[in-house]
Amino acid sequence: MFSKNKNDELSNSIVGIGHRVVHGGDVYQQPVLIDEHVEKIIEDLCSLAPLHNPANLAGIQEAKEIFPTLPNVAVFDTAFHQTIPNRAKYYAIDKIIADTLKIKRYGFHGTSHKYVAEKASNFLQTDLKNIRIISCHLGNGASVCAIEYGRSVETSMGFTPIEGLLMGSRSGDIDAGIIFHLAKRKFIARTN
């Protein structure tokens, strides 16, 4: 925890606080100044990013308490993927249900994929709008992203950060039939 004097010194040198927030749903396509409404949306999306959004929200609230006069800005991992075309965005489920429940591929690690695309563009000495690359975000969380002319057009993560590659604490893609098979076997085991 910061001391009162250290806090005052830091407040004089810091002009704002930025927060990487994992899930912004359909709502946020750009960084946004955080207010109560933004916090509520982050909280509402906790069920779709349970390892991240609660911690992101706690960090925002702590920063506001420690530095009450500084503006806080949220940058959403899902924002970069708002450009994914419909052919890659939607799952093979009823469109009315998908639209009503907002089920689609949101994509994640967008801040990382955007950064990698910009760095690749600089390295290749080519305008970002002229390159097509596949970016790999590898670590405890992992995803790949097809970036065409500076825009995300496909990504391995979907509705939640669980879909896609195998990760540290997430299964990644798994055949849906396995889930039903496991549920059935567990049910049979409980009844015997």
CA 137 to chain centre: 12
147 contacts 141 by C-beta, under 8 angstroms = no
**Given 8, 26, 35, 77, which residue is catalytic?**
77
Q: Rounded to whole angstroms, how far apart are CA atoms 160 and 163?
A: 6
Q: 35 catalytic, yes or no?
A: no
HSE-CB at 30 with a 13 A cutoff on CA atoms is 2
CA 96 to chain centre: 24
The two tokens of residue 73 are 């800005």
Q: Rounded to whole angstroms, how far apart are CA atoms 6 and 66?
A: 11
Task: Give the residue numbers annotated as catalytic, written as ranges.
Answer: 77
